Amino acid sequence: MTANKNIEEDKKKESYPTNKTWWKEAIVYQLYPRSFKDSNGDGIGDIKGIIASLDYLQSLGITVIWLNPVFSSPNDDMGYDVSDYRNIMTEMGTMNDFNELLNGLHQRGIKLIADLVLNHTSDEHDWFVQSKSSRNNPYRNYYHWWPAEKGVPPRRYSVFHEEGAWTYDNTTDSYYLHYFSRKQPDLNWENPTVRKEMYEVMKFWLDKGVDGFRLDAFTYISKDNSYPEIPEKYKEDPFSYYSCGPGLHNYLQEMNKEVFSHYDLMTVGEASGITHDQALLFTATERKEIQTLYHFDHANWGRNKNNLYYPDLKNRKLTDLKKIFSLWDAAFENDGWGAVYLTTHDQSRMVSRFGNDTTYRNESSKLLLTFLLSMRGTPYIYQGDEIGMRNIRFEKIGEYKDLHTINYYHYLATTGGDTQAFIEAQKETARDNSRTPFQWSNQKNAGFTNGTPWINVNPDYESINARNAENDPASILHYTRKMIALRKALPVLVYGDFNLLEKESETLFVFTRRLANMQVLVVLNFSDTETAFTLRANDKIVKEIINNYNEQTHFENSRVVLKPWQAILYECITDES
Ligand code: GLC
Ligand code: CA
């Protein structure tokens, strides 16, 4: 029987749920344009480069692209410091290029969600230039100011480890607030005019045909404008205070009413520091706020809890990871909808963090992609993971471009800290690990640019690149396409219930997905060693659906031995009589 016929048969066993939506069925590819493809030799990826790669994107089978910011920006934080929300960053191209990209994607049945930076602008945005020019400028209230005659403002911390989140500006003898860098002043969402401005920005892009938004750092937007001392209960983790602003839910409901409700769009919020209960308040359908969000709980897995710049690989436990994912699945069991990802441009490479990026790079990459594409929640694949790109592990601070790393290094250097240990640590945790250029081929600069790349190319490009992967039937790339096709063909993988098995195992990640009469058993060996898995007494395997090794598996007395990083999906029947 052909694979297609199999899929048709499987489909009949499932019954579609009634709350279907395209954004639940979406398969998202996160595209970091600065490092995707350079078209003009200036070393910076650009929109024309993406346009030239549309066929590649389509060939993956993905249905949505989350495009990191391409708005005008001085790039203090790589586009997350926007100086004009209605224009395209010079290095990225023009508005015409953007229109052409959007068209090209739509023609191929791919949607695009834009990355909207809500919490702050660039200090070069005209609103801020005006705002800081005088205390009675009409834009003064667009930002948060603290007049110096009131003394030093209550302590706020900068996510990017600057001296603090208030910076003094002598033009008006006042401090302004910036949760991120000093070039990213926070907008004052308590001001209704600011909110209106931002809703207009959203409509501008939606009217252009953009299919939704990734809402950058949305939990931080609302602030108590009396700027109290951070309450005692947040002292351990002051950043969690940032995500609990008093007006947040009101603003999201207003945003929904003014903007979202008028379009058929997808919204996904970046939600650091929130609990499961809070997550549902943002995403429950009846509350009319946002549709989905992603949390950071597993982003900190394998990191030192006291200082997230440092890894703690020894204390990584698969049982913890399983707990994180199953608790988040449960959070959206009855309402709301989650996002499933393993890395973004803010974390190091997927296979370097969750897999084995040397001996089992191929197998473990495939296993991780199998995981992403068989969990409940909209899956996000990060650019380069489909070819198994790895951490670059820079040896010198001079190679880093990310101020998150650079600022902390300087802090250590000026306070007598151990900068060498920090460089070692950043090899595992730095954001730049995921920001190196996409590896297209084994040509100069991995075929990314004819010029000098803005950030060094990973030297492993000679073997790890898309062209090699294209030519190798056993590549991660081909497997990714197969797995994506499977997710699209089997609604059980989108809508089916999730049930974790083997909860105590430190090597096996096993779960079932079930929709009506169709049940898929997902068996993943998250380890370098062979591991046996035994079926539950009343389970019966119908057939193997996909396997990241070539050889079929054989059960003997309900027991199967999995190879290192082996990943298998079975169709499985549970006898409940
Ligand atoms: C988000 C972005 C990150 C950026 C930060 C500030 O976390 O993903 O890259 O640095 O917001 O805008
Ligand atoms: Ca360029």
| pLDDT tens figures, 440-459 | 999 999 999 999 999 999 99
Ligand nearest to the CA of 341: 1
Parse the chain into domains and list their residue ranges.
23-122+192-484, 126-177, 494-574
* 3-state class (DSSP) for residue 321: helix
216 lines ligand 1 (CB under 6 A): yes
Ligand nearest to the CA of 272: 1
Query: Distance from the CA of 80 to the center of ligand 1, in angstroms?
Result: 6
- Check residue 9 and give its pLDDT: 62
Query: Distance from the CA of 125 to the center of ligand 2, in angstroms?
Result: 23
Q: How far apart are CA 70 and CA 68, in angstroms?
A: 7
Domain at 23-122+192-484, CATH from 3.40.1000.10, 3.10.20.30, 1.10.8.50, 3.20.20.80: 3.20.20.80
DSSP structure string for 178-217: -SS-TTSPBB-TTSHHHHHHHHHHHHHHHHHT--EEEEET
Do β-strands 559-562 and 531-534 pair in parallel, antiparallel, or remain unpaired?
antiparallel
Q: How far apart are CA 400 and CA 80, in angstroms?
A: 17
- Structurally, at CATH architecture level, domain 494-574 sits in Sandwich (2.60)
**329 neighbors 375 (Cβ within 8 angstroms):** yes
Query: Distance from the CA of 39 to the center of ligand 2, in angstroms?
Result: 5
Catalytic-labelled residue, pool 14, 46, 186, 270? 270
What is the pLDDT confidence band of residue 1, given thresholds at 50, 70 and 90? very low
| pLDDT tens figures, 407-428 | 999 999 999 999 999 999 999 9
Query: Distance from the CA of 310 to the center of ligand 1, in angstroms?
Result: 19
Query: Distance from the CA of 76 to the center of ligand 1, in angstroms?
Result: 11
| pLDDT tens figures, 51-76 | 999 999 999 999 999 999 999 999 99
Fold of 126-177: Oligo-1,6-glucosidase; domain 2 (3.90.400)
Q: For all residues of the chain together, what is the average pLDDT?
A: 96
Catalytic-labelled residue, pool 46, 97, 162, 216? 216
Mean pLDDT value of segment 165-181: 98
- Check residue 516 and give its pLDDT: 92
State the SS3 of 432-491.
HHHCCCCCCCCCHHHHCCCCCCCCCCCHHHHCCCHHHHHHCCCCHHHHHHHHHHHHHHCH
- Check residue 264 and give its pLDDT: 97
**360 neighbors 526 (Cβ within 8 angstroms):** no
- Check residue 260 and give its pLDDT: 98
For residue 120, give the ligand 1 atom closest to its CA: 12
pLDDT over 90 (residue 7): no
**438 neighbors 383 (Cβ within 8 angstroms):** yes
pLDDT over 90 (residue 303): yes
pTM of the model: 0.96
Question: Atom 8, ligand 1: which residue's CA is nearest?
Answer: 346
Q: How far apart are CA 144 and CA 175, in angstroms?
A: 8
Q: Alpha helix (H) ranges present in 126-275?
A: 126-131, 192-208, 238-242, 248-258
Amino acid present at 406: I
162 lines ligand 1 (CB under 6 A): no
For residue 119, give the ligand 1 atom closest to its CA: 12
| pLDDT tens figures, 215-230 | 999 999 999 999 999 9
The per-residue b/e assignment along 198-218, b for 16 or more CB within 10 angstroms, e otherwise, is bbebbeebbeeebbbbbbbbb
* CA distances for 348 relative to 303, 325, 343, 351, angstroms: 11, 19, 7, 9
258 lines ligand 1 (CB under 6 A): no
385 lines ligand 1 (CB under 6 A): no
